[in-house]
Amino acid sequence: MWGGRFTSSPDAIMDEINASIDVDRHLYAQDIAASKAHAAMLAAQGIITAEDAAKIAHGLDTILLEIEKGTFTFDRALEDVHMNVENRLTQLIGPAAGRLHTARSRNDQVATDFKLWIRDAIDRIDKALAAYQRALAEKAVDHAATVMPGFTHLQTAQPVTFGHHLLAYVEMAARDRGRLADARRRLNESPLGSAALAGTSFPLDREKTAHALGFDRPAANSLDAVSDRDFVLETLAAAAITAVHLSRFAEEIVIWTSPLAALVRLSDKFTTGSSIMPQKRNPDAAELVRAKVGRIIGALSALLIVMKGLPLAYQKDMQEDKEGAMDALATLALSIAAMTGMVRDMTPDTARMKKAAGEGYSTATDLADWLVRNLNMPFRDAHRITGNIVAKATEAGTPLHRMPLAAMQAIEPRITDGVFEVLSVDRSVKSRTSLGGTAPKNVRAAAKKWLRKLENEGG
């Protein structure tokens, strides 16, 4: 492929380190689509004949069918997907195949192919995240009034509802989708026609190929177009944040399903057993999602390290952009699917959740708020008095809602029996009616709003 400049073959080790076909063969559909667009443009511009363009298009369609049927043989000696396709095209249509590479380089070719691949991957992940959001919102509707403990520092803080907790992850996934959409929008410029680095002297219509491939516009600078891998980095950054969100939820599922917490149960579909302990039910799906985030963050870190020292324009180092990214995005898609399955599968123990919600004096803030509202007390004073009451209740081993009124009045004489209206966990969550609060009516409305939005997105 290098023509007359070289007089001998590369060393076997050079062949091994230089070949990318094991990875970039996954770009075959994008490579063929970009080649068809390029050939059609060359013909429209009078750079090649319409007859040759028709032969090229027919040959490329044949190759696509062969690859999809599994009858195409990828040859490592041909180094990459581009040369494998071009070599087979030559076998099929003869000399006309040699005209396809007019006014382009593998530099703009691979940048175009990988942008198309990343764009397709973003679309698939966005669809998966929408399904994940839908599963969460549907579960939230069912459990809008199911009381559970809310935690800070993994200590019981205030009662919330299970539906409210699930909707927090719907919001996270919405931001994840927004970041991916931003990355998609920015990457949607076509490098095709930038050639090796300096553009070309042929009268190309880069707008034509850009629009044929679904890009918004051609990339404006040929040097940037062939050396840019921001689109991979930005997508991996969005993927890493998404994976962190999944991992946080997976960690909670691990905690919730522990017999020590016993707040949620997963069925046999998403748990495994032990080879030695017959009683075990391990939340392995959640644990694996939690672990796989490392691969996704690692792919981002690896590519940042590759790119940080590269001068313009294309460098062979950039060949390392694909394997990690492809693995990371496949891993993310699998993790989203697993989390969606676990959300649909999980069954909360509502009685245990409610009991746990009342432990640890979780309605202490409700007591402090009552003192502020009913006794016109500054919150800091109310906080101190409530702390004294909780200390007395702890000493007596009594929950707040069963604390004798006289015992509370010994600390603050103006307290009336009206305080008991706010000390149960049910009343606590119902009172949290502020925007974004955990009141069941809020949760139900928010979950249904999300379901309507997701339904409208689906057309």
Kindly report which listed range (7-21, 42-56, 392-406) carries the lowest average pLDDT score: 7-21
Is a pLDDT exceeding 70 seen at residue 207?
Answer: yes
pLDDT at 295: 97
Band (pLDDT 50/70/90 cuts) for residue 1 is low
pLDDT, mean of residues 449-453: 98
Report pLDDT digits (tens) over 150-159. Answer: 999 999 999 9
pLDDT at 11: 73
List residues with catalytic annotation: 153, 274
pTM of the model: 0.93
pLDDT, mean of residues 169-182: 98
pLDDT, mean of residues 235-241: 98
Q: Is the dihedral of CA 171, 176, 177, 182 positive or negative?
A: positive
Mean pLDDT taken over the chain: 95
Kindly report which listed range (7-21, 88-102, 265-279, 292-306) carries the lowest average pLDDT score: 7-21
Q: Is the dihedral of CA 134, 139, 143, 147 positive or negative?
A: negative
DSSP classification of residue 228: -
Is a pLDDT exceeding 60 seen at residue 46?
Answer: yes
- The answer to whether the beta carbons of residues 261 and 255 sit under 8 Å apart is yes
The radius of gyration computed from the CA coordinates of the chain, to the nearest angstrom, equals: 30
pLDDT at 439: 97
Is a pLDDT exceeding 60 seen at residue 384?
Answer: yes
Is a pLDDT exceeding 80 seen at residue 67?
Answer: yes
Residue 190's beta-bridge partner residues? 218
Phi and psi at residue 264, to the nearest 5°: -140, 150
Q: Give Cα separations from 382 to 24, 363, 375, 389 (angstroms).
A: 65, 14, 9, 10
pLDDT at 5: 60
Q: Cα–Cα distance between 374 and 380 in angstroms, integer?
A: 15
Band (pLDDT 50/70/90 cuts) for residue 6 is low
For residue 144, give the nearest of 348, 340, 401 by alpha carbon.
348
412 Cβ contact list (under 8 Å, min separation 6): 371, 375, 385, 389
DSSP classification of residue 420: G
Is a pLDDT exceeding 60 seen at residue 166?
Answer: yes
pLDDT at 10: 73
Q: Cα–Cα distance between 160 and 250 in angstroms, integer?
A: 19
Report pLDDT digits (tens) over 350-372. Answer: 999 999 999 889 999 999 999 99
pLDDT at 19: 80
